[in-house]
Amino acid sequence: MVLVYLIKVLIILVFAYSLFMYGVFSQSDLLDDQPYRTAYHFQPIKNWINDPCGPMIYKGIYHLFYQYNPIGNGSPNGPRVWGHSTSLDLINWTPQPLTLEPQMESNMNSSYTGSTTILKGYKPTILFTGITPKNEQVQDLAYPKDPLDPFLKEWVLAPQNPLMYPNPQNKIDSTSFRDPTTAWLLPDGNWRVIIGSKKERKGLALLFKSKDFINWVQNYDPLYSYELTGMWECPDFYPVFMNGVSMGVDNSIIGVNTKHVLKISLDETKHDVYTIGTYDFMNDGYIPDLGFENDSSLRYDYGKYYASKTFYDGVKMRRVLLAWVNESSSLDDDLKKGWSGIHAIPRRIWLDKSGKQLIQWPISEVEKLRVKPVILPMQVLKGGSRIEITGISAAQADVEISFKIKEVSNIERFEASWSNPQLVCSQKGGSVSGGVGPFGLLTLASQDLLEYTAVFFRIFKNFDNKFVVLMCSDQTRSSLNPTTDKTTYGTYVSVEPIYEGLSLRVLIDHSIVESFGARGKNVITARVYPTLAIHDKAHLYAFNNGIQDVQITWLTAWSMNKANYIA
């Protein structure tokens, strides 16, 4: 009991210290004057944020590190350090001191992205990319000054740094060697880690091994590579259970009931793509089930979503996915508001029962912010109609809606040339009437519908008489600001719409709309900046611009409380 009391006192003292030294602000302090600040997504008070780095759980506390420009004022220009925040639930965050600031030659010009690994004896470490005075990219190690501190407020660099550097004999450019993954340990006693790189335009996942986590040797062959894909940033490599088991797996687990996921952030397109395959751990090779298809590969998210990273939460036995969501506003607008970049809501991630794709779903903790549910009865949404969902804060909401399609007599034919779903969505947006669809939600809508972001489905039949389901997030009318990027996003969803129905879950938070289709099979994230539909002027509608009626079988919407603290 005395120990528990002392731990509670320690937490209170550290929290008070954070208030005094760094400032902990409720979101409401900032939202009133800044309509595009989010209420429950992770973002800094000011300046530039990008990649999540080294998320982990340690002594029951979640840690999130992130790329941060402390003098950027919304601009990426300037040296990067790591921001650091802690949480008990991955939603409400308390800031900790900045870390990995310039301390030695190997990180004098910046500390770029990296990962955390907990070694034997429960010792947390950070592997990260340091930038030397010559702008060379090398890999550095850091460890906590006091491992007994559950908040890990201070980190020190290993005197042996740098531990890994690009081998010129392999013709690896010193500016293309970054972003080490979480390491994994195999029965041979060697830790393994991969680092993103390229050789000309051939993307590489370079593999390094070490017995002591200090002395690393590069494997002759990369774990995996692919031609004409450009630089591979922020690689991630982890096991997942087969047969639809939603529990997460520790990075070092190798078993007959697991597959492996290799995720790459493509620098040329700023898309996160992944493959599912087999890890040949005897030969340190990776064999994807389907060939890597560059930007046509599977993606975590078909909107704005980049530099993602997962970690295994051993307390709740889940794998959690985090990512950077950058702005769609102009640099001038970012400088005016004094900040840039947010993080998506953390997602639980697992392998679909089919084994062909991953499933993603917002972590359950975000549901604690739900208040004042509004439930609409089952009803028919006639073609060419819309229904307003009232009684919620439409600028700050969580919405779940399901549809059933009884007839497809007016269905449109799918053209074989429609291989690019984003292009099809841009041509057949939310305002373009079709046969079955578009139907879905009009989010962040002004009362006169001069502004809205439409998230919807549209159903076709192909030449084999099979259904093709298109999911879109249409930003073409999202803002009256002429300098805002209003790209429309799209993806095809693998689902049988007649038998399974179609579902949407949409998280709306002032300037972000995260849309989960078909219970998390496909996700689209958009950044939008309405000029009219802000705060209490925002509206939410269910709509059907198709000829065919559809049935709403479920609609529940919640207003969302603000997260207690921001980073």
By annotation, the residues acting in catalysis are 51
Q: Which of 437, 438, 376 is nearest to 401 (CA)?
A: 376
∠ CA 505-392-44, nearest 5°, is: 70
Distances (CA, A) of 107 to 11, 102, 125, 161, 486: 31, 6, 16, 9, 37
Helix, strand, or coil here: 263? strand
Name the maximum alpha-carbon separation found in the chain: 72
CA distance 386 to 63: 43
| Sequence-ordered list of residues with C-beta below 8 angstroms from that of 263, at least 6 positions apart, any chain | 234, 235, 236, 237, 272, 273, 274, 300, 308, 310
Please tell me the number of Cα atoms within 13 Å of 200 on its side-chain side: 4
CA distance 249 to 270: 27
Q: Fill in the DSSP letter of residue 236.
A: E
Cβ atoms 226, 277 nearer than 8 A:
no
Q: What is the 3-state secondary structure (H, E, C) of 453-483?
A: EEEEEEEEECCCCCEEEEEEEECCCCCCCCC
The residue written with tokens 């809205």 in the block is: 452
33 C-beta neighbours (distance < 10 Å), count: 8
230 C-beta neighbours (distance < 10 Å), count: 18
| Sequence-ordered list of residues with C-beta below 8 angstroms from that of 537, at least 6 positions apart, any chain | 446, 447
Q: What is the DSSP string of 165-229?
A: ---GGGT--TTSEE-PPPPEE-TTS-EEEEEEEEETTEEEEEEEEESSSSS-EE-SS-SEEETT-
Q: What is the 3-state secondary structure (H, E, C) of 103-150?
A: CCHHHCCEEEEEEEEEECCCEEEEEEEEECCCCCEEEEEEEECCCCCC
Q: Fill in the DSSP letter of residue 329.
A: S
Strand 489-493 and strand 306-313: the pairing is unpaired
CA distance 453 to 173: 42
- List for the chain the helix, strand, coil content (%; round to 5): 10, 45, 45
Q: Which of 319, 362, 330, 367 is nearest to 344 (CA)?
A: 362
Q: Tell me, what amino acid is at 460?
A: F
